[in-house]
């Protein structure tokens, strides 16, 4: 709560004015039953049409002023709630950007999306309603009770008896509902995770005719969510009928004793109507309060889930080194990597040194740790043992921006963002000229593609859906080249290219100006056989390091890969 109030501080004025104007409106609402009582006792009873008209105009005036107060309160409440949720969403997104791959893997993408959308919207709704009704409803309830005492003390005791019973019902149901709503939200996460997984893997599901299996699995998650929602819904649904029963019994009792007191001359007919109206106001406000409490309960649960993300801090701490010098561009010293929750290391005791300007090929079977190895270089993950150095300096000592500026990486999955070709290329270097972009496109064998699409202003859809796999790969390679990095990592980024385009690409990269270290991860021996050094991985271990010729003589794993891809010449 302290954290919430601290975050709400920039909207202190709106958070005060919103409830304040609602209280002004509530005061006017509490006056209305007294005016009606006057109309009945002094106007209707005495057939004074002028008095009735005068009081009716006062009611209209009270309604108009109350409406103005209500609109003003809504304006300030909306301004505070929307502004707060906007800043919360921005802060949450910024925090997620600081997390390492390990934390993001642990939390899960679907969970983070839910926190940023559904949960943030729920907090916004809860804050809006709280600013408008959280003070107003109790104020009207107790105000109606006090006003009843001004009319008749003995009749007002009915209010004193009814309100505590109603409070016990409302707050009791709220306390039971809060943990149940947290369970509902966690099950909603499971549904969203399953849905996202199915949508991203829809082609694979259809290729293996697994639609029915996935539908059955989704039904399981959905039914579990539905069951929890129904259970908490049944408990929450008890609130209205129980409050109605208490209020209606109280109204019956009021009318009964009111009729007796009217007969005896203690109360007037107008005063009985006023008491009835005050009891009705309590009923309406308690129904509002019940709905408000349910909404706030959900919002509190959502806010807690958002705070759980904020409590997760990045395991990576960066230093202040901006540059270093060494004859070696990249060094791995007894480097090992074990992913969180994994039973065994993905990389074990990797040792090698790469000089500046060298081209390094990394090859191995599926799951041998090739991507894990290159992900350690830009420090997407931290080694669990050993050291990784760039230019002779431990990468943990570098500034984050300085480290990433040195490295250009083309990931295994080609990802492009919605926008023009130019906008995508400027991710690598926001100050790049069109000439520099076209140079990178030429090197990546993508210039002809872009020219054929209409130039750098060609609009790319989200994820590059309007391009083929090979076209996406060439453009992502060009994006990395625009950055002009000291270290270029191509993580199986030519898998969708034909052999000729792949060969031209590697040749163009080697001809680039400057002393650039290149890491090429590939399943093809032809893509890395001309590298200065080849690292052969098997089950996370480097089973061979050397040139193509050396490995053919000394490494059985490399020899097997090469033999499987190239037919032996017949004698």
Q: What pLDDT, in 10s, does the model give residues 297-346?
A: 788 888 888 888 998 888 888 888 888 888 899 999 999 999 887 778 89
Nearest residue to 77 via CA among 292, 390, 363 = 292
Query: For 328-565, which CATH superfamily applies?
Result: P-loop containing nucleotide triphosphate hydrolases (3.40.50.300)
6 pLDDT tier (thresholds 50, 70, 90): confident
Mean pLDDT computed over 350-377: 90
For the chain, domain boundaries = 2-310, 328-565
Domains 2-310 and 328-565 share a fold: no
Mean pLDDT computed over 444-469: 87
3-state DSSP helix/strand/coil % of the chain, to nearest 5? 65, 10, 20
Question: Across the strands, what pairs with 393?
Answer: 390
Q: Cα(426)–Cα(262) distance, rounded to whole angstroms?
A: 84
Instruction: Look at 286-295, 377-386, 394-403, 432-441 and tell me which has the smallest mean pLDDT.
Output: 286-295
Phi/psi of residue 398, nearest 5 degrees: -75, 150
193 pLDDT tier (thresholds 50, 70, 90): confident
pLDDT surpasses 70 at 568 = no
Let me know if 264 is exposed, middle or buried by CB neighbors in 10 A (0-12, 13-18, 19+): exposed
Q: What pLDDT, in 10s, does the model give residues 131-166?
A: 888 888 888 888 888 888 888 888 878 878 887 888
pTM of the model: 0.74
Q: How far apart are the first and last CA of the chain?
A: 81
Query: What fold, for 2-310?
Result: ABC transporter transmembrane region fold (1.20.1560)
- pLDDT in the model for residue 1: 62
Retrieve residue 308's tokens.
């759980």
What contacts 502, CB < 8 A, 6 or more positions away? 494, 524, 526, 527
Residue with tokens 């006062």: 58
Q: What pLDDT, in 10s, does the model give residues 367-424?
A: 888 989 999 999 988 899 999 999 989 999 999 888 888 898 888 888 888 899 999 9
Provide the mean pLDDT of the chain: 86
């Amino acid at each position: 709560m302290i954290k919430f109030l601290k975050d709400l501080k920039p909207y202190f004025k709106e958070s005060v004015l919103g409830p304040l104007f609602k209280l002004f409106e509530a005061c006017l609402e509490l006056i209305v039953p007294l005016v009606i009582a006057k109309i009945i006792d002094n106007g209707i009873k005495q057939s004074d049409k002028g008095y009735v008209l005068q009081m009716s105009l006062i009611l209209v005036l009270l309604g108009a002023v109350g409406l103005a107060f209500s609109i003003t309160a809504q304006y300030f409440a909306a301004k505070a709630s929307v502004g707060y949720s906007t800043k919360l969403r921005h802060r949450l997104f910024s925090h997620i950007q600081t997390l390492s791959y390990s934390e993001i893997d642990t939390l899960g993408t679907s969970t983070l999306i839910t926190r940023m959308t559904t949960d943030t919207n729920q907090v916004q709704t809860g804050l809006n309603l709280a600013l408008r009704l959280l003070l107003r409803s109790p104020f009207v309830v107790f105000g109606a009770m006090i006003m009843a005492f001004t009319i008749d003390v003995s009749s007002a005791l009915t209010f004193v008896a009814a309100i505590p019973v109603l409070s016990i019902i409302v707050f009791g149901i709220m306390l039971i509902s809060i943990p149940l709503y947290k369970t509902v939200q966690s099950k909603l996460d499971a549904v969203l995770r399953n849905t996202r997984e199915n949508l991203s893997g829809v082609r694979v599901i259809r290729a293996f005719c697994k639609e029915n299996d996935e539908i059955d699995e989704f039904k399981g998650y959905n039914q579990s969510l539905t069951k929890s929602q129904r259970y908490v819904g049944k408990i929450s649904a008890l609130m209205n009928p129980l409050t109605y029963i208490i209020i209606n019994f109280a109204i019956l009792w009021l009318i009964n004793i009111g009729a007796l007191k009217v007969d005896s001359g203690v109360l007037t007919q107008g005063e009985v109507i006023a008491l009835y109206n005050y009891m009705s106001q309590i009923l309406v406000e308690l129904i509002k309060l019940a709905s408000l409490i349910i909404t706030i309960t959900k919002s509190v649960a959502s806010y807690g889930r958002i705070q759980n993300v904020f409590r997760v801090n990045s395991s990576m701490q960066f230093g202040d080194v901006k540059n270093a010098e060494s004859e070696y561009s990249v060094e791995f010293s007894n480097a090992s990597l074990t992913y969180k929750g994994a039973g065994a290391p993905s990389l074990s005791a990797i040792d090698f040194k790469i000089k500046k300007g060298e081209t390094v090929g990394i090859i191995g079977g599926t799951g041998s740790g090739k991507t894990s190895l290159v992900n350690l270089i830009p420090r997407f993950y931290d080694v669990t043992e050993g050291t990784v150095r760039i230019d002779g300096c431990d990468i943990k000592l570098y500034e984050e921006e300085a480290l990433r500026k040195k490295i250009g990486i083309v990931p295994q999955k080609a990802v492009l963002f919605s926008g023009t070709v130019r906008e995508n290329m400027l991710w690598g270097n926001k100050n790049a000229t069109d000439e520099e972009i076209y140079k990178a496109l030429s090197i990546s064998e993508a210039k002809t593609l872009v020219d054929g699409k209409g130039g750098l202003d060609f609009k790319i859809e989200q994820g590059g859906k309007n391009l083929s796999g090979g076209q996406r790969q060439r453009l992502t390679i060009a994006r990395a080249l625009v950055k002009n990095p000291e270290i270029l990592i191509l993580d199986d980024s030519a898998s969708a290219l034909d052999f000729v385009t792949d060969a031209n690409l590697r040749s163009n990269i080697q001809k680039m100006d400057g002393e650039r270290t290149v890491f090429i991860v590939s399943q093809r021996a032809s893509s890395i056989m001309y590298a200065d050094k080849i690292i052969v991985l098997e089950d996370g271990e480097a089973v061979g390091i050397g040139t193509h010729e050396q490995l053919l003589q000394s490494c059985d794993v490399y020899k097997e890969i090469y033999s499987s891809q190239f037919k032996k010449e017949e004698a």
